[in-house]
Amino acid sequence: QVQLVESGGGVVQPGGSLRLSCAASGFTFSSYGMHWVRQAPGKGLEWVAFIRYDGSNKYYADSVKGRFTISRDNSKNTLYLQMNSLRAEDTAVYYCGGNSGYDSPFDYWGQGTLVTVSS
């Protein structure tokens, strides 16, 4: 069955860095656009970043542009999010998700990994 498993979350100080991973299985990862979506405690969903199936296009929310970098390794069926210059407002559960095209719904979601930015 389809699985997306996030890892790499934890507690980090403001200004620090963290790298999230999302391991995919059960579907053709290399054919899917992949996203990171986050949810601050008690808040709604916020889209963070997207990478095209072949890695050729990447888009970012204004709130993370210049600080976060999305990447993927199709040979390892793995999605990444490098997060630098972290702020308290980046504290959230980070979900990875996949869809088959720009207008398409998120067919697959991971269970999320919690990132806490605190001194």
Partner 1 sequence: SYVLTQPPSVSVAPGQTARITCGGNNIGSKSVHWYQQKPGQAPVLVVYDDSDRPSGIPERFSGSNSGNTATLTISRVEAGDEADYYCQVWDSSSDHEVFGGGTKLTVL
Which is nearer to partner 1, 81 or 110 (by Cβ)? Answer: 110
Residues found near partner 1 in the complex (CB under 8 A): 35, 37, 44-47, 50, 59, 61-62, 95, 102-107, 109-112
Minimum distance of partner 1 from residue 80's CB (angstroms): 18
Closer to partner 1 at the Cβ: 66 or 103?
Answer: 103
Checking 70-78 for CB contacts under 8 A at 24+ apart, the result is: 70/34, 70/36, 72/34, 74/29, 74/30, 77/23, 77/24, 77/25, 77/29, 77/30, 78/21, 78/22, 78/23, 78/24
15 vs 107, which CB is nearer to partner 1? 107
State the nearest-atom distance from the C-beta of 69 to partner 1, in Å.
16
